């Protein structure tokens, strides 16, 4: 196997995209998904990564045979405010340092991460179950039905 397997990524180049649910009517929790492509200068193919979001660690999944990674999590609607979420990506050594800092009650801000990805959540919509366009269409259909019925009654 010629692929380099390592936990150290040198000079990572990261591109990312993110998604979150905005509909509070049909969902019990807000789901967040951050997708990223990480290319290392030293051509590392397989990274064991973790993400730190608001002080909690989450595993980062790798799409098989690619440089694409995904992290996802859910929050209760009451805690999922409209905001920009900072997702710190850690490799194995960095996540070990993170866990050690938590055990020793040390400052987490001084820890170095592999990269930081931002997820912008626009907030939740608790709008109507049926959109106003659907209501207008239904009303138009009802008016058309009664107009046609009335016309038929007049013609007989």
Percent residues over pLDDT 90 in the chain: 58
Judgement on whether residues 67 and 140 belong to the same structural domain of the protein? no
Judgement on whether residues 77 and 140 belong to the same structural domain of the protein? no
Q: pLDDT category, 7, cuts 50, 70, 90?
A: low
Judgement on whether residues 108 and 144 belong to the same structural domain of the protein? no
pLDDT over 90 (residue 15): yes
CA atoms within 13 A on the CB side of 2: 0
pLDDT of the residue at 14: 94
User: 3-class SS at 71?
Assistant: strand
Judgement on whether residues 62 and 101 belong to the same structural domain of the protein? yes
Percent residues over pLDDT 70 in the chain: 93
User: Tokens standing for 46?
Assistant: 């397989």
Judgement on whether residues 30 and 84 belong to the same structural domain of the protein? yes
Instruction: Answer for the pair 72, 34: CB distance below 8 angstroms, yes or no.
Output: yes
CA angle in degrees (0–180, nearest 5) for 67-71-77? 155
pLDDT of the residue at 129: 67
Measured distance CA(98)–CA(111) in Å, rounded: 7
pLDDT over 80 (residue 2): no
Reported pTM: 0.72
Q: Tell me what the pLDDT averaged over the chain comes to.
A: 88
Judgement on whether residues 95 and 132 belong to the same structural domain of the protein? no
What does the DSSP assignment read for 33-58? EEEEEEE-TT-EEE---EEEETTEEE
Judgement on whether residues 113 and 142 belong to the same structural domain of the protein? no
pLDDT of the residue at 90: 94
User: Tokens standing for 70?
Assistant: 């995904």
Domain count for the chain, please give it: 2
- Domain residue limits at 135: 127-156
Measured distance CA(95)–CA(48) in Å, rounded: 10
Measured distance CA(117)–CA(85) in Å, rounded: 8
Judgement on whether residues 104 and 146 belong to the same structural domain of the protein? no
Judgement on whether residues 52 and 89 belong to the same structural domain of the protein? yes
Q: pLDDT category, 107, cuts 50, 70, 90?
A: confident
Measured distance CA(11)–CA(43) in Å, rounded: 10
pLDDT over 70 (residue 6): no
pLDDT of the residue at 17: 94
Alpha-carbon distances, residue 30 vs 16, 23, 66, 76, 134 (angstroms): 20, 8, 28, 6, 26
> Model confidence over 38-75: pLDDT tens digits?
999 988 888 999 999 988 999 999 999 899 999 999 99
């Amino acid at each position: 196997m010629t692929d380099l397997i390592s936990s150290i990524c040198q000079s990572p180049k990261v591109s990312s995209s993110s998604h979150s649910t905005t509909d509070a009517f049909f969902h019990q929790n807000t789901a967040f998904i951050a997708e990223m492509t990480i290319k290392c200068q030293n051509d590392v193919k397989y990274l064991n990564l973790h993400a730190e979001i608001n002080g909690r660690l989450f595993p980062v999944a790798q799409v098989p045979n690619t440089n694409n990674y995904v992290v996802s999590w859910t929050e209760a609607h009451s805690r999922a405010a409209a905001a920009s979420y900072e997702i710190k990506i850690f490799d194995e050594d960095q996540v070990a340092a993170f866990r050690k800092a938590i055990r020793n009650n040390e400052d987490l801000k001084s820890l170095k991460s592999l990269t930081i990805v931002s997820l912008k959540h626009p907030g939740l919509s608790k709008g109507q179950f049926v959109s106003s366009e659907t209501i207008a269409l239904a009303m138009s259909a009802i008016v058309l039905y009664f107009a046609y019925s009335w016309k038929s009654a007049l013609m007989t």
